[in-house]
A and B are shown apart, each in its own frame.
Chain A
Amino acid sequence: MADISFAGESHALGADETVLECLERANHEIPFSCRNGICLTCMMRVRTGILPEASQAGLRDGQQQQGYFLPCVCRPEADLEIEAPADAELFGRAMVSEVTRLTASICRLRLRTATPLFYHAGQFVNLRRGDGLVRSYSLASVPRLDDSLELHIKRLGGGRMSNWIYDDLTVGEPLDIQGPNGDCYYIGGQPDRPLLLIGNGSGLAPLYGILRDALADGHVGPIHLYHGSRMAKGLYYRDELQALAQANGNFHYTPCLSGDSDEAQLERAAKPGRAEAVALAEHPDLSGWGVYLCGYPPMVQTAKKQAFLAGAGLQDILADSFELRDLRRLPRE
């Protein structure tokens, strides 16, 4: 008989009972809808124990790897210790190890954490300032390559956190950090498949991490990165990306400029147009591709639909949409 540990209590699982039924019997209110492993409303996360395969069917690879499962179709044979997804969201301590201005509006923030953070490049963390203000930023660093966390902060008009980081934050200062979150990251196991990475502005951050993670993992299929900006000066990391393209025959970097200024016209090394438009025009058939979309929400939304219509499976399109506030996933205070 399996025991289910949740919220500090242990419950014996009844014969032929699902984990959801067991928790309900113990008067826990777990949100649910279909009760058939389809809608994902009741999704929870395992801390310890072996999940039956059926309880993870239909979840994304990334969610499966992180131990998410569906209690409504979970009939485990052995003990499980589980948690609500929100319980994983605890803040730890980090210290600023570097702040470097990359452009007039984007800076690179490097952090060291008191305890190592187990994450994938491309996931995001929530940073909390002393006064409680919280914002989400995506990880450009790769655990196996970098010994600190790297985030790219774009200062926004009236953005309290971004302007503070850009203008005032200095090396040595502490910040609270929660994460990692999100499922927009490189998934190994298909080293041959073509990858399309599209981002604008500081949407390059997760893509820069995902790209280097894929290369370090031995990805041999073509990897096409399209980075878009209105102005040439927003195309940061060009030298780094060109160097990576030089060193890796399967990696192709295309900077794109959507502005119609003279400066953009003169910039012959970049393609004219929005990154997603250039990318999809050059790759009209995306069947079997992995697609990553990061940055400005309307771009992510448009490109997601276009990539899907171009043949990419919806489960193979991973997105990190930079909502202006923390509309991604807000941790509990």
Chain B
Amino acid sequence: MSESLFQRIGGAAAVEAAVDLFYRKVLTDPDVMFFFDTTDMDEQRAKQKSFLTMAFGGPHEFTGQDLRTAHAQLVADGLNDSHFDKVAGHLQATLQELEVDEDAIAEVMAIAGATRDDVLNR
């Protein structure tokens, strides 16, 4: 049996390696930093680890409804496609920086992209 995406990408260690890089990118992007700026950075980091774990094809228990609920307030505050695209771009750049191979990156981006309608509550 071939290895899963999560295994190929490096599992939990890859999530750990990616989370600070990714978080730093979104926090310094003036177009999306507003959505990630928080008083509890450790909690925000934990959320991003959960998200990355899911995007990397790892074990998770998110449902589409969870994603909707979690982002409802942000959508009310103006979260839209352009923000989603920017954040997706930061995810892609993070993976490239970590020298993940292009096929795996494409799979991750497909998983992340599939959450668009739930994240934007459509």
Any A CB within 8 A of the CB of B89? no
Any B CB within 8 A of the CB of A314? yes
Contacts of B58 in A (CB 8 A): 36
Q: Given A58-B16, A304-B41, are A309 and B24 neighbors across the interface (CB < 8 Å)?
A: yes
Q: How far is the CB of A206 from chain B (nearest CB, A)?
A: 18
Contact A314 B61 (CB under 8 A): no
Contact B50 A38 (CB under 8 A): yes
Contacts of A34 in B (CB 8 A): 50, 60-61
Q: How far is the CB of B57 from chain A (nearest CB, A)?
A: 13
Contact B61 A35 (CB under 8 A): yes
Closest to B51 in A: A38
Contacts of A50 in B (CB 8 A): none
Contact B39 A309 (CB under 8 A): no
Contact A314 B59 (CB under 8 A): no
Q: How far is the CB of B19 from chain A (nearest CB, A)?
A: 8
Any A CB within 8 A of the CB of B96? no
Contacts of A308 in B (CB 8 A): 20, 23-24, 27, 41
**Considering the chains assembled together, what is the distance between the CA atoms of A273 and B61 in angstroms?**
47
In residues 64-80 of chain B, which contact A (Cβ within 8 Å)? none
Contacts of A305 in B (CB 8 A): 27, 41
Number of interface residues of B (CB under 8 A): 20
Contacts of A57 in B (CB 8 A): 12
Closest to B44 in A: A314
Any B CB within 8 A of the CB of A46? no
Any A CB within 8 A of the CB of B42? yes
**Considering the chains assembled together, what is the distance between the CA atoms of A159 and B53 in angstroms?**
45
**Considering the chains assembled together, what is the distance between the CA atoms of A118 and B5 in angstroms?**
44
Instruction: Specify which of A36, A301, A309, A313 is in contact with B60 (CB 8 Å cutoff).
Output: A36
**Considering the chains assembled together, what is the distance between the CA atoms of A315 and B41 in angstroms?**
10
Q: How far is the CB of B6 from chain A (nearest CB, A)?
A: 11
Q: Which residues of chain B have a CB within 8 Å of any CB of chain A?
A: 12, 16, 19-20, 23-24, 27-28, 39, 41-42, 45-46, 49-50, 53, 58-61
Give 14 CB contacts A-B under 8 Å.
Answer: A34-B61, A35-B61, A36-B58, A38-B46, A58-B16, A301-B39, A305-B27, A308-B27, A309-B28, A313-B20, A314-B23, A314-B42, A314-B45, A315-B20
